[in-house]
Amino acid sequence: MNRTELNASVIERNVLRYTPAGIPVSECVLRHLSSQIEADLPRQVELEITAVAMGELANDLNRLLLGKPHRFTGFLAKKSRNSRNIVYHITEFELEKED
């Protein structure tokens, strides 16, 4: 699976939890808004996606302010083996520079 970048804001966040092995897990919802060109025409893109971060990154994600733009890097995967729902797995992020 290829890594993807997503400029987005955390709009919802669940309470930090831990796996049975003691690994921190942070689940959230990301909102992305942008203007893209498709077939030589501008298109407004708006989406919300469930995301998850694990390990030390989960602790860092849990401290982010809601609504602030960030650049997330990660990959898409099914929520579970038998699920049709996708989840964005965050592998790194940085604060998006404001103009």
Domain boundaries, the chain: 4-95
The pLDDT assigned to 58 comes to: 97
57/38 Cα distance (integer angstroms): 34
Which has more confidence, 92 or 96? 92
Select the more confidently predicted residue: 1 or 44: 44
Q: Is 23 left (phi over 0), alpha (psi -120 to 50) or beta?
A: beta
- Residues 4-40 pLDDT 10s: 999 999 999 999 999 999 999 999 999 999 999 999 9
Convert the pLDDT of each residue in 51-90 to its tens digit: 999 999 999 999 999 999 999 999 999 999 999 999 999 9
Q: For residue 80, what are the CA distances in angstroms to 5, 11, 84, 85, 96?
A: 22, 23, 8, 8, 30
Question: 40: which DSSP letter?
Answer: T
Provide the CATH number for the domain formed by 4-95 in this structure.
2.40.50.140
